[in-house]
Chains A and B, each alone.
Chain A
């Protein structure tokens, strides 16, 4: 419980990027939003909870990075030009980039909880949470795990059709 409070305690605003529909640009918007906020001098983190199709590492050119552990949990990978955006994604935990993560709900839920409570985010102005399409396990678990914290709100992405 102490670790939980420490790891997200320094995060001022948490934003969810949602859609329902796939392929509309959630990960793209999450990435651009993070970069823009960073440009504006904010401290930013991205949590990629798309476990089956994690796109953020490639978008930030860090597909080959690894995650390390510290006393308070997992250390996020620092990305961006000044290496100042903190990123956590299942993409970093795969042995090979083409490995399929073929998990049913309970196992996905367990990892999402770990991502929320065990990543040492430090002090952030914004934590952007990128999600997969749908309204299922990942979404329910993410919202449940983030409930005790300052959830600013959700941005919904769509295309015109």
Chain B
């Protein structure tokens, strides 16, 4: 007998949703009884709280992958730096990777702590117009493992959205962990209180990455999250000495380009491997500022501009409708 587990696109509706315990996907989940017997729907007071807190956020971009280690956090950090280069824009970077928070180190903020004020938790500011929040700031030591199951992670993510006093924000960038699980479901659920412009999906060229990224694209479609486009990192390496180009992660199945064609999503750009990127990240410096002439910097800047254009255009259309 072939094991017939209908796993395709089965998705937890969310423990707080009206469908909790009742959706088709709930069959077989050990929480089903609890969910079905629990609250009939999302807590309206909670939703109102989140809406109020996020009211002053103009654009929200999620950085996703599916695959680990492809450069989500690197990209999120550089996107934040790139957008904040315009001093008239207020940028917020929220790191919801609870188990492996990379953003504090990449932004040069290791050792910083979160302070509370009357209006909530204060983000940690890198620049006057660039604020950051991460579980990394809540640990007593950087090596402390956060060994939490889903519900506790969801609780912290909700707190990040509800209790952080971001103020007026032009761009909220959310860095996520790899996968399609609690953190991803929760952030989409909680951010439905505001509106998400879309997701940027990061990959590397090889099929082992693409196969996870296709799943992430399906996740976005399933939860109706618009996809701004895909970024292909580690796309080729140019030797600084002989200038020869090598494919360190060969795109054996056509890379992100082919995948984007097949799935009808936008390829925002390809970023080559530059050892300076990793070094800048380790040192908490902006790679864009440290290596302004690198081909990787040029790629990143083009991609950031495309994202900005997408968001502005989207906003303009929304305003037209309203």
Contact = CB atoms under 8 A, between A and B. Distances in A.
Interface string A30-62: 000000000000000000000011010011000
A82 interface: no
10 contacts: A24-B68, A53-B67, A95-B6, A101-B215, A102-B9, A102-B10, A102-B223, A104-B15, A134-B100, A136-B182
A110 interface: yes
B215 A98 contact: yes
B138 to A, nearest CB: 15
Interface of B: 1-3, 5-12, 15, 28-31, 66-70, 98-100, 145-151, 153, 177-182, 184-185, 204, 207-209, 211-212, 214-219, 222-223, 278, 281-282
A53 B66 CA distance: 7
B147 A140 contact: yes
A132 B68 CA distance: 9
Interface in A74-124: 74, 90, 92-110
Nearest to A52: B179
For chain A, what secondary structure do more than half of its interface residues adopt (helix, strand, loop), or is it mixed?
A: loop
B122 to A, nearest CB: 27
Interface in A133-154: 133-137, 139-140
A135 B101 CA distance: 12
Given A74-B3, A93-B5, A140-B147, A132 B29 contact: no
Contacts of A102: 9-12, 180-181, 184-185, 219, 222-223
Contacts, number: 170
Contact of B12 (A98, A104, A139): A104
Contact of B278 (A66, A99, A136, A161): A161
B68 A21 contact: yes
B215 A100 contact: yes
Contacts of B147: 135-136, 139-140
B224 to A, nearest CB: 13
Contacts of A68: 1-3
Contacts of B29: 103, 106-107, 110
Given A23-B67, A100-B9, A105-B181, A55 B208 contact: yes
Contacts of A67: 2-3
A4 B182 CA distance: 29
Contact of B100 (A20, A53, A97, A101): A20
Nearest to A136: B99
Interface residues of A, number: 46
A27 B148 CA distance: 23
Contacts of A69: 1-3
Contact of A137 (B8, B146, B149, B184): B149
B7 A132 contact: no
Given A103-B11, A110-B29, 11 more contacts: A23-B204, A68-B2, A95-B7, A98-B217, A102-B11, A102-B12, A106-B31, A107-B30, A132-B178, A133-B68, A161-B282
A153 to B, nearest CB: 17
